[in-house]
Chains A and B, each alone.
Chain A
Amino acid sequence: QVQLQESGPGLVKPSETLSLTCAVSGYSISSGYYWGWIRQPPGKGLEWIGSIYHSGSTYYNPSLKSRVTISVDTSKNQFSLKLSSVTAADTAVYYCASHYIWGSYRLDYWGQGTLVTVSS
């Protein structure tokens, strides 16, 4: 069974870069899926951030594209998110998920999520 686990700092200062990693187990990150990041501000809805394939091919949400970098490390079976120049508006629970985009675009498996607070 595919399992995903987010990790990274829970507190980031304004103007700095948020960095998170998603470790994938039970499935090779090089097989079949894109791998995505989704976030949810406290009390609000879900927002797709972007997704990456093991080849490095990426899709980004245009509203965040100028600040987002998603990368993949196949040797460690994990992928990462970097969000630069953060503000309080970037405070959210960040989820990683498997993103099957081959004619479906569904998010099959999700991590438990990690809360990142932007505050000085």
Chain B
Amino acid sequence: QSALTQPASVSGSPGQSITISCTGTSSDIGNYNYVSWYQQHPGKAPQLMIYDVTNRPSGVSNRFSGSKSGNTASLTISGLQAEDEADYYCNSYTSSSTLVVFGGGTKLTVL
């Protein structure tokens, strides 16, 4: 069981927007703005898409955005494209002894 909870799957049609949630506790997401999101295509390494809740690394499309409310962080993808179909993982710093924890991952299907 992962420390952060994500929905197993989400789907959307091209052009639509989708949001993936990532729920933690006051030991991680609730009290720290150190949430990052990773995109992973089949057979490939994860790629950093969002860090520190809302920041996008250079080269990442501005269709990807992040936010946080309470113990839940969210990744929103607007203007869905076929190439967005992938697995998405959230990650957060935690004040527990683990240092960082991942969510269980969400499979995004573009219909």
Interface residues of A (CB under 8 A from B): 38, 45-48, 51, 59, 61-63, 95, 101, 103-108, 110-113
B33 → A minimal CB distance (Å): 9
Between A and B, how many residue pairs show CB distances below 8 Å?
62
Q: Is the interface of A mostly helix, strand, loop or mixed?
A: loop
B109 → A minimal CB distance (Å): 16
Residue B82 at the chain A interface, CB threshold 8 Å: no
Interface residues of B in 38-97 (CB under 8 A from A): 38, 44-48, 51-52, 57, 89, 91-93, 97
A92 → B minimal CB distance (Å): 13
Count of interface residues, chain B, beta-carbon cutoff 8 Å? 25
Contact, CB under 8 Å: B46 / A95:
yes
B50 → A minimal CB distance (Å): 9
Contact, CB under 8 Å: B99 / A103:
no
Contact, CB under 8 Å: A95 / B97:
no
Residues of B within 8 A of A47 (CB): 102
Residue B100 at the chain A interface, CB threshold 8 Å: yes
List 25 interface pairs A-B (beta carbons < 8 Å), by A numbering: A45-B2, A45-B102, A45-B103, A45-B104, A45-B105, A46-B102, A47-B102, A48-B100, A48-B102, A51-B99, A63-B98, A95-B46, A103-B34, A104-B52, A105-B91, A105-B92, A105-B93, A105-B99, A105-B100, A106-B34, A106-B36, A107-B38, A107-B46, A110-B46, A111-B45
